[in-house]
Amino acid sequence: MALGTSEVTDGTEAADGTEHLGTAGVLERLRLKHRDPDADHKHPANVTHYETASLGERLADRLSGLMGSWPFIIVQSLLMVVWVYLNVWGIFVAHWDPYPFILLNLALSFQATYAGPIVLLAGNRQSKKDRITLEHAADESDKGEEQINRILVEIKKNTALTVQILNELEAETA
């Protein structure tokens, strides 16, 4: 392989025993690192979001992530179907919550009472992270703009010197 080039492979093992990750593998590794609460986060928004979070904030993040997932919806739906089945058609089972399902309604209300504030806490933390990310991006943009301006000034100086040298060479040959 030539100097300065890189090779992207498919995750196979090379002759020297090292594993080369393909583009998909590298992207997956980066995605997992940035979503893993236990990872070492370098970006200021991630440091604030993960490393300085209190136990309650981390718990709210995990619970809201759980409540907003398909497995949670499916399990909750199955539990409700089983509840209704056992209380309406259940054979050899004591019907502890007859048709209007008042106890089921109470349990779902209790869940909603806690789910709402947990989701709001997680949403507030996400907006705080988004704000910090935007502020950091604006700072980086400003730094980049300053660097570009310095480079443009140097290019103008180099262009002026090049024109001066060209004029001197043309004067010598004339």
What are the pLDDT digits (tens) for 160-172? 999 999 999 999 9
Please tell me the pTM assigned to this model. Answer: 0.53
Element (H, E) at 49: none
Please choose, from the candidates 26, 18, 21, the residue with its C-alpha nearest in 3D space to the C-alpha of residue 10: 21
Question: What pLDDT, in 10s, does the model give residues 106-120?
Answer: 999 999 999 999 999
Q: What share of the chain is helix, strand, coil (3-state, %, to 5)?
A: 70, 0, 25
- pLDDT tens sequence across 131-166: 888 888 898 899 999 999 999 999 999 999 999 999
Alpha-carbon distance 39 to 33, whole Å? 6
Q: Write the burial class of residue 122 (CB in 10 Å: 0-12 exposed, 13-18 middle, 19+ buried).
A: buried
88 or 19, higher pLDDT: 88
**For the chain, domain boundaries:** 19-52
